[in-house]
Amino acid sequence: MSSQGVLRPGHVIIRVLDIQEAREYYVNVLGLIETDQDADGKVYLKAWDEHDHHSVVLQEADVPGLEVMAFKVTDDATLKNLTEKIENFGIKTEIFASNTHLATGERVRFTAPTGHVFELYAYKELVGNGMPVVNPGVKAPNLKGIHPNNFDHCALIGDDVDGSYRLFVDVLGFQLTERVMAGENMIAAFLSCSNKPHDVAFIHAPVKGKLHHVSFAVDSWAHVLNAADKIAESEVPHEIGPTRHGITRGETIYFFDPSGNRNEIFSGGYLWYPDRPALTWTADELPKALFFHERKLSETFLSVMT
């Protein structure tokens, strides 16, 4: 939990071009579980080991990308306190009443300096993970596709990495775990509100509000390889991996949903604690920082965004 009471990534709203095509992919290939569909046609999904009502929302739109990334906070008092802190930082907030987003309490929306829209909330309906809470077992039955454990993080691209870094660290209480420096300029910041290597990352480019990827966590390298098998047999557009990052030390594979949004399956990485020193990579070592085994950049990895 962040020093200001942010618990974890709560959900992401992804813009897709065809809601039925996206639903087929996210349910049967990625293996998320559909929990609802609202009156506007948005589809609500969760990873199997999440207890909250949803962590992914598919919203049909003319262009793909990220609509909103939301974080769950500890309670209503924390939500109110953080709203005041964001306003005092100089960023306007908008408050949405409970249940204006399905199964979710009051939400506070704001736009970070990189142009990304974020929300904070304290309550979401619990639906369980398919197992009892007494003598639960280890895995829910009848899972499909890759079936990741949970929504893990987003990597976001924008023009003011330093501004979003300061908002998340100074106001929301995140910690910097790793960064990439080009001389005196920070061109990527990896931030954690938990003990993971990152819960959100900001990457510099001369654009506003772009999505690099939405990441989902699995247990092990073997599960990353299983994801690769499922991607290949389903003829999903594949980009990179399975391989390993230098940054975060995570094991990874990247691929694309039918609308062109990049997804990641992620495993491993180190445990983060606030007394651990933040790590710095220099821009000349970026290929090794991103892909430790290959030590070279993919042509699409830093150019394709939605």
First to last CA, the chain: 29
DSSP string over 104-126: B--EEEEE-TTS-EEEEES-B-B
Rounded Cα distance between 127 and 91, Å, is 34
Catalytic residue numbers? 153, 198, 213, 245, 254, 264
DSSP 148: -
Rounded Cα distance between 263 and 183, Å, is 30
Rounded Cα distance between 79 and 12, Å, is 18
DSSP 164: H
* Helix (H), strand (E) counts: the chain: 5, 17
Cβ atoms < 10 Å from Cβ of 190? 28
Determine if residue 228 is left, alpha or beta; phi over 0 gives left, psi from -120 to 50 gives alpha, anything else beta: alpha
DSSP 277: P
Cα–Cα distances (Å) from 31 to 40, 111, 151, 166, 281, in that order, read: 23, 31, 12, 35, 34
- What DSSP element (H or E) covers 287? helix 286-290
Rounded Cα distance between 269 and 196, Å, is 8
